[in-house]
Structure 1
């Protein structure tokens, strides 16, 4: 098991619907440590980089427009296998088919306005966290609840 950092973006659909606190609450209650958080207005430049893998798709501009509709909340969460934990909590990309109990399953009925973006692999998480946060915006502090979340060996790198 790995102690990992992962990126979570609360999209304009979460911000506009007043779901910021509810979603952050779910990640914190799960046992993930918030290592960084900020509100920001996304630009064409950062979205071209972030969604470069979708650049040739017909819906590319629509996604960028959606992501620039209002500020977003960028978060970095840390925990044992954080990427997989966050992805499991988030649910399927299309909110209409996401399982109830997941964030998208509970708050989304859209494939695009699907509340959150999350890193899809530990490798991409490193790239994405660095894209949205300067090193000094990521904080390393002791979470006093740590001994009550995992046993010590779970924090050791594989």
Structure 2
């Protein structure tokens, strides 16, 4: 494939919002180094969903649909990520048989639905049980950073 965003690592300082819930989804990211925390906002409370580290992806759930971001990602350490454009993924998938794309879409939809159902029924993720819940100060700081980011980007929530 010709040069793409694959070749351009992006550095995020600790505390930087990478993307926010409700934002258009045009990229996924591979974490080259560092750590990113994924959150869902429930009223005015942040719910930690998971912690993602080296060689893992974030933002993959909306790569096969035109849905907006379903969660917020924040760098919890200085991190280096590689951005992969949705269009680049679609170009690669066009070289595959249609059934491969259908499988990817189905898996992505089922995963998103499962995450939504778990959250809706307030089933607690293992991350919270492992002592990764936020302190009130951390939650306040993250909420402020996320709010500032969303304001800068013109993102509105439902």
Q: Greater share of helix residues, 1 or 2? A: 1
| Same topology, TM > 0.5 | no
Q: Which structure has more RCO (C-alpha within 8 Å, separation ≥ 6)?
A: 1
The TM-score normalised by the length of structure 1 is: 0.27
